[in-house]
Amino acid sequence: MSGSTDVFEIMSTTRSMRRLKPDPVPDELIRKILEAGVSAANGGNNQRWRFLVVKDKAIKKAVQVWYKKAFDEVVGPRYAASAPPPGVTADRYQRQHGAVEYLTEHFHEAPVWIVACIEDKAPPNRSSGASIYPAVQNMLLAIRALGLGSTLTTRHLLYEKEAEAALGLPEGVHSYAILPIGYPMGKFGPVGRGTLADIVYQDKWGQTYPGL
């Protein structure tokens, strides 16, 4: 499975692809991804989203330093102490750890990043996030449909000020996600999630939804 146009197949195989080849991604494909992004819903259709395409190696490296620091200090220890989530075997979770560590070391080597931002004087909050993450998910689906790989990353926000300074974001612009994009080294496969019966209720919290 690489490129696909079946939306259900795409959704169920849009896994985090953390091992990426350094081969360049044509601008024509980046444009398609961005077009998919701005097809998303956004509050009031205000379209305060802004997208920074980063190819400059020095900029990516300057951000990776903070991304790695956040791993070393927070994310790595947290991963080491946590159990596999629903629908994920211990073995698969272990492989995910390895991939997370790999991306941490090689974040800046992805040939292109799309940094999803919002230009707004108000500080980031749940509403502003709701107006950018639909675009981010559209882009992830488009990336997958084109046979490219990526991962939704937000870890740089643990060092938000430093990372946004490294990205050169002006005042009033905040980043919400960095998508490192490239051709994947591995193969696409199904995502690992728990069962709907454990998380869907009808009418009353905790009451079984018999429609499953």
Ligand X SMILES: Cc1cc2nc3c(=O)[nH]c(=O)nc-3n(C[C@H](O)[C@H](O)[C@H](O)COP(=O)(O)O)c2cc1C
Q: Which of 16, 21, 29, 40 binds ligand X (CB under 6 A)?
A: 16
3-state secondary structure of 124: coil
Minimum distance, C-beta of residue 20 to ligand X, in the bound complex (Å): 12
Q: Are 177 and 136 in contact (CB under 8 A)?
A: yes
Nearer Cβ to ligand X, position 20 or 30?
20
Minimum distance, C-beta of residue 208 to ligand X, in the bound complex (Å): 26
Contacts with ligand X, 174-193, as mask; x by CB under 6 A:
-----------------x--
* Residues 57, 178: Cα–Cα separation, whole Å: 15
Residue nearest to ligand X (CB): 155
**Which residues, including other chains, have CB under 8 Å from residue 91's CB and lie 6 or more apart?**
none
Minimum distance, C-beta of residue 191 to ligand X, in the bound complex (Å): 4
60 binding ligand X? (CB under 6 A): no
Structure tokens that stand for 87 in this block: 């629908």
Q: Which stretch binds ligand X (CB under 6 A): 12-20, 55-63, 164-172, 196-204?
A: 12-20
Minimum distance, C-beta of residue 13 to ligand X, in the bound complex (Å): 9
3-state secondary structure of 145: helix
Question: Crossing angle, helix 160-167 and helix 57-70, to 10 degrees?
Answer: 170
Of residues 97-116, those binding ligand X (CB under 6 A): 100, 103
Sheet strands (E) in the chain = 49-54, 112-119, 173-181
Nearer Cβ to ligand X, position 68 or 155?
155
Contacts with ligand X, 145-174, as mask; x by CB under 6 A:
------xxxxx-------------------
Strand partners, 20: 184
Q: How many CA atoms lie within 13 A of 13 on its CB side?
A: 22
* Residues 18, 4: Cα–Cα separation, whole Å: 20
Binding site for ligand X (CB under 6 A): 15-16, 18, 100, 103, 151-155, 191
